[in-house]
Each structure stands twice: as C-alpha cells, then as structure tokens.
Amino acid sequence: MKVPAAFIEPVRRIEGDARLDGAPGRALAAVARRAVPNRAAEDALLGTWLGHALHPLLTDFPLGMWMSASLLDLAGGPDARGPARRLVGLGLLAAVPTVAAGLAEWQRTSGPARRVGVVHAAVNATATGLYGSSWLARRRGRHRTGVALGIAGGLVATAGGYFGGHLTLVRKIGSAHPAFDPS
C-alpha cells in the first residue's frame, strides 16, 4: 500500500529543516533540562526501571481521559457535563508526567528525529493548551465553548500523535533495556 505524499512530505520537510535546531530546539532543550534535572530523574522518566520507554505508555492516560470527555460531551447529555469537565482536568494533570517522560526521551535524540520531536512537542503543547482552555470554559459555565475547545484539542492531539508515532515506529526513538535485546 502506498502512503500518500500528503503524509510523507511534511515529515520529510520537518526532518530536513535545520532552523528547528536553532531557537525552537534551544528553547525545548532548556525546558527539558528543568524537567529532567539529573540522572535519577532521567532514569525514572525513561522507564529504565520498566525496561522500555515510559512516554508512550503514559500518553494513554491524558488522551484516554480527553477522548472519554468528548464521548460524554457528544452522548452523555446535560448530566455528563460535570464528569466530562473532571476528565478534562484529570487529563491535564496526567499530561505533566507524560510531557516530562517525552522530554527525557527527546534529550537523547539528534538530527532529523530531534527536529520532529520539536514539532511533536509544539503540537502537543497546543493541544494541551486547548484542553486547558476547555477546562476553564467549562468551569465558567461556558459548556459549548468548552466542548468546541476540547474537540479542537483532540484534533490537534491526533496530529501530535502522528509525529510521535513517526518517532517511535519509523525513527525507533525510545529507551529499551538490554534485557529485551534479541539473543
């Protein structure tokens, strides 16, 4: 099966765009240094204790909560507004360790993968910002606005997931313990 150029070309352009090594890459590196301040934090966030990358596992928590909130929004009726708002908020809390684990992985990248990681982080930061705005709108009683922001956040997170999938599946970014190496 042939993959449409519309999916391949943007990623190739990102991989080859050395401008991402400049200010965007340096800014993300500064954030990563604060989130992963020492070797013990790095080992914990990389999933050394687990034997493989922690970040992909953690993404299921915020994304699952946010998707569940959208399902409640679309099918739950007025009684589901409170639970949907709580799920959005819990997803925001779950995003914190997820981001930290992603930053620990990103620090180990270079070249094309590092550039895609910069875009992955920016897209996911946008999605998280939309969900934060969704939570605030819901809390202020602006349910429809909150739902719209949540759906927008989900669409943006899907794009972020595409870049994350490229990093893990195509570029093979992710920590792995030697115990899992093929014999």
Mean pLDDT, rounded, for 95-101: 98
Mean pLDDT, rounded, for 89-108: 98
Residue 31: predicted pLDDT: 98
134 within 8 A of 65, measured Cβ to Cβ: no
Residue 183 lies in a domain: no
Residue 179 lies in a domain: no
Question: 116 Cβ partners below 8 Å, 6+ apart?
Answer: 11, 14, 15, 163, 166, 167, 171
Q: How many percent of the chain have pLDDT more than 70?
A: 99
Reported pTM: 0.94
Q: Residue 110 and residue 137: Cα distance in Å, rounded?
A: 39
CB count, 10 Å around CB of 61?
Answer: 16
Residue 177 lies in a domain: no
Residue 18 lies in a domain: yes
pLDDT in tens, 8-61: 999 999 999 999 999 999 999 999 999 999 999 999 999 999 998 999 999 999
pLDDT tier at 183, thresholds 50, 70, 90? low
Q: Which domain holds residue 75?
A: 5-172
Tally of structural domains, the chain: 1
Residue 120 lies in a domain: yes
